[in-house]
Chain A
């Protein structure tokens, strides 16, 4: 599904690269935690997968295709197959929960009758049935993140990238979001989640990829947040 081969990303020549010679393969249906201190290159790795950035050297492949070589006009199609959620939710304050989800469908050209059917379904799926007409400031942090997850899911992406999705949430709410991502993964969506939340990583016991100063220092199946002693 995702393959990175000797990927290096430098933002300014002369400084330490944000990612340094990373090789990594993630197969379809996997759940992968991306851990490491701030500045270790987790977000850069996610940005490369979204084609927000291109690698300085090396190859990033998604579904067998070199992401960097996708023509600009085809990049939107890539992004419809790669959903993403962020620590700060990135919702539109002047749209309701349903409006935020519908926005993602409207701007990708989905017909109105599909939007009307799919939006309540997906909101129900993420546990927000009955809260479709609430505005973001009328929802809790966890509920806002669920709206963001619903928005990422409406395009039925093959991969869901989550950049610190529980970073702004209390532990219990964070665990709720974690369970939601687990459920999404169980129905076949590949999930790559960058996080600092040691408790969640330790509880889930999934594959852990650890970065430090832009280099891959650990790739462990069923790992914890800290490497085993």
Chain B
């Protein structure tokens, strides 16, 4: 069948079942927006991950009473440790400078602290930051060591929130996908009933099964794609509003970029079109005799 003739039949059918088509488009759009949001939250987790792996080091806070010999021995051990890529010593004054820089937006906090309150430390760049636990067990409790901190662990709550939001978004998307399937099923049933005369004629004149089914699948795929376009618009709007404006000035960790958005947009458009067509094919088995 010619593409033009096929498209004409599919679009006419969409227009005739306008109310059902709109319901399908809205449901698919919500489902795909949630799916896209889940994908972007995952991208955000990866972005934070990459940032932490690049930047954050394990920190060995030193006891104020540490002797010079103990400190030198510790430094020598750290430099010899294969887990440690680089070691930097930060004295109390430098620690205070960094503290003032990190909390420059909170002068009340800075005014309550002075250099003596902050420990000197060894700041470590690790060969593999995921093995920070081994550093902690290896150096905690040594003479002159106050405590060993894995900076990455500090962000565990953030990871937990991102993970929970991602799972939540995917779960809601799955529920919406069920609703979308029910609606597409109904749309195909209504459409097959409305076009039963047409499909009967198609069968009689020798149209192939594929040709008879194609307009229905196309109708559903177009509805899915339009839903996908709305979802894509929502994701782009979300990126512009939240990432580029609302949270543009926060510096705790970087936010996902446009590459993640385009990947999510491509994902929702593909899933929207493909899954809607597949759902229509399933519904056709039940409602269209060929």
Mark A residues whose CB is within 8 Å of B: 50, 72-73, 76-80, 84, 90, 92, 103-104, 106-109, 111-112, 151-152, 155
Contact = CB atoms under 8 A, between A and B. Distances in A.
Given A72-B209, A109-B211, A79 B197 contact: no
Given A106-B5, A107-B1, 16 more contacts: A50-B204, A73-B209, A76-B209, A77-B206, A79-B204, A84-B204, A103-B198, A103-B205, A107-B212, A111-B2, A112-B2, A151-B201, A151-B205, A152-B205, A155-B205, A155-B206
B206 A90 contact: no
Interface residues of B, number: 18
Contact of B206 (A103, A108, A111): A108
Contact of A104 (B200, B205, B208): B205
Given A92-B198, A103-B201, A104-B201, A76 B5 contact: no
Contacts of B206: 76-80, 108, 155
A92 B209 CA distance: 20
Nearest to B8: A106
Contacts of B209: 72-73, 76
27 contacts: A72-B209, A76-B203, A76-B206, A76-B209, A77-B206, A79-B205, A79-B206, A80-B205, A90-B201, A90-B204, A92-B197, A92-B198, A103-B201, A104-B201, A106-B1, A107-B1, A107-B202, A108-B206, A108-B207, A108-B211, A109-B2, A109-B211, A111-B2, A112-B2, A112-B4, A151-B201, A155-B205
Interface in B179-199: 197-198
B9 to A, nearest CB: 9
A114 to B, nearest CB: 11
Contacts of B201: 90, 92, 103-104, 151
Contacts of A73: 208-209
A79 B200 CA distance: 12
Interface in B1-50: 1-2, 4-5
